[in-house]
Amino acid sequence: MENRNDSPPAPLEITRSGDGATIAYHAVAGKSPGVVFLGGFRSDMNGTKALALEKWCRATGRAFLRFDYGGHGQSSGAFTDGTIATWAEDAIFAIEKLTQGPQVLVGSSMGGWIMLVAALRLKGKISGLLGLAAAPDFTEDLIHGELTPRQLEIIETEGQVKIPNCYDVDDPYVITKALIEDGRRQRLLHKPIALDIPVRLIQGMKDEDVPWKTALKIQEMLVGEDVEVQLVKNADHRLSEPADLDRLTTTLERLLAHIEAKS
């Protein structure tokens, strides 16, 4: 989860056709390629990294979008009704409806999984990717694989189980059977990832949630050659310290310059 701004401005909302669900968002007009931030599991669009990116994009005249998946932040729906597939559909919907021209996706943790899914669906619109502790396949590799026999029994019989939240002991994560089963269908790291666009991955080596070798696995499975991994020895999962935010914006600036030079 992210640190939050105490007084974030009120977001706009867009309604998904058909299901009536609303997606809350903030958008900044500017030059292209634009930047879209994809948050993590149970995080929202008012986190430290999202706001730092918006500040940088405003200062540089770059278009920017941040939003909440369904069941997150200020969007409609219940968190426990969501899956990787439904949150990826929210992201794809937001990118298609709320941005113009090519985009660079910045995905944090679960958002790093969703950025890959979205880029595979929106080929031609996505110019580059920047992952922060990107966590594709985490429901299978990092959650299901760590559940105890008793927890597996509970999730099978009751449809969900609570697991400890290291960021807030009084607010455990609720893991649903639907999330685990859908995550298994959305796995990416078991075969080549058919993306040939510039990708930059930043990964803390003190990350206790996502093993740092995950970034190397993503690099290995991407079919494109323009992939760079930054391993940060003293950084944790959040990557939200001032030095981390400077690294984020510097990496994004270089990525955008690289993309623009190629176009």
pLDDT, tens digit, 9 for 90 and up, residues 175-206: 999 999 999 999 999 999 999 999 999 999 99
Query: In this predicted model, what pLDDT tens digit does every residue of 106-123 receive, in sequence order?
Result: 999 999 999 999 999 999
Closest CA to 101 of 254, 261, 260: 260
- Residue range 12-136+194-262 in CATH 3.40.50.720: no
Beta partners for residue 47, in sequence order: 4
Fold agreement (12-136+194-262, 138-185): no
**Active-site hit among 109, 137, 182, 240:** 109
Give the residue extent of every domain in the chain.
12-136+194-262, 138-185
- 237 annotated active-site: yes
Q: Is 26 a catalytic residue?
A: no
Instruction: Give the domain 138-185 fold.
Output: CBS domain Like (3.90.1280)
pTM, to two decimals: 0.94
Give me the pLDDT at residue 1, please: 44
Residue with tokens 């580059």: 128
Q: Distance between CA 53 and CA 228 in Å, rounded?
A: 20
- Catalytic-residue membership of 44: no
- pLDDT for 2: 46
Dihedral sign of CA atoms 160, 211, 169, 108 in order: negative
Residue 263 has pLDDT above 90, yes or no: no
Catalytic residue among 137, 141, 182, 207: 207
User: Per the residue annotation, which of 26, 72, 144, 237 is the catalytic one?
Assistant: 237
What per-residue string of b and e applies to 152-169 under the rule 16 or more CB within 10 Å gives b?
eebbeeeeebeeeeeeee
